[in-house]
Amino acid sequence: MNEIVLASPAKINLFLEIIRRRPDGFHEIESIMQLVDLCDEVRLRRRRGGIRLQVSGAELPEDRGNLAYRAAALALEAAGLSEGLEIRLVKRIPVAGGLGGGSSNAAAVLLGVGRLFGLRWPQATLRRLASRLGSDVPFFLGDGLAVARGRGEVLTPLPPWPPRWLVLANPGVAVSTAWAYGEASSKLTGWKGRVTLPTLTAGGPLDWPPVWAFNRLEEVVLPHRPELVALKGLLQEGGGMPVLMSGSGASVFAVVPDAGAARVLAARVRESGAFAAAVTTLPANPLVGAGPCGRKFRE
């Protein structure tokens, strides 16, 4: 095999609470993360030596400043390979939007290198490498829905829903994750009590629609981002319920009842000048061969 193409999906945080700041500088969190079928395309090809990265669809570094590049370097080094890798990355997931696009791309590269070079890495090895790249990367190696604890790398899979419709929206501004968590650190002692995770089922799935959805970082980010407040209001006026920021922003998602409502609301948001896409939740992860990403080559 000389080339492989992978669909690299986005995620949303249906729940995100910050527990404390850890001694290592990271934050202890509790989150529920869900894959959605808005996907980047990651194309990997063998080359004689070195790593070459080409990115289209977004202005991103094409060197070690890109997480996909670092994932390739780590994977080749871990495998003891002298061959190189060409990566062509087509971005459709908004950058710095709280949707995990960079982490998903890194996971795609790890998995792709394994398949391209016929490696038989156990899951534990993949997760160890993923954890070295970023807190969210291990999630993209597993199922479509999971509870994340620790700094995000301690995962407990949850029973999936059938595909459920959402609208993803982004106002075209970036929010620094490091800044958002830094701001949260200064407020931890002032927050009275913590929101606990929804009951994690006694064998059944979580309720849908997720009226229990929550994101602590909204308290940090929204006062500084009026564009996000306006975008949330537009989604709510259009019938979204609930409407929530994903991760540290700047993307938000709205739960809607069906495909028709999703397409109408997404079109309304695009008319305002913001990015919007009608998507569904993914019951399984296309990166691990468990199902296709319906939006792989759309838009």
The token duo for 174 is: 């970036």
DSSP letter for each residue of 169-224? EE-S----HHHHHHHHHHHGGGS-S-PPPPP--SSSPPPSS-TT-EETTHHHHGGG
75/126 Cα distance (integer angstroms): 9
List, in order, residues 6 or more apart from 175 with CB less than 8 Å away: 96, 97, 98, 221, 225, 248, 249, 250
* Residue 47: strand pairing partners: 84
Residues 96 and 90 sit within 8 Å (Cβ to Cβ): no
Among the listed residues 37, 40, 91, 136, the single catalytic one is 136
297/294 Cα distance (integer angstroms): 8
List, in order, residues 6 or more apart from 12 with CB less than 8 Å away: 33, 34, 36, 99, 166, 168, 246, 247, 251, 253
Among the listed residues 11, 91, 232, 296, the single catalytic one is 11
3 state DSSP class of 269: helix
Task: Tell me, yes or no, if 11 is annotated catalytic.
Answer: yes
Q: Which amino acids are annotated catalytic?
A: 11, 136
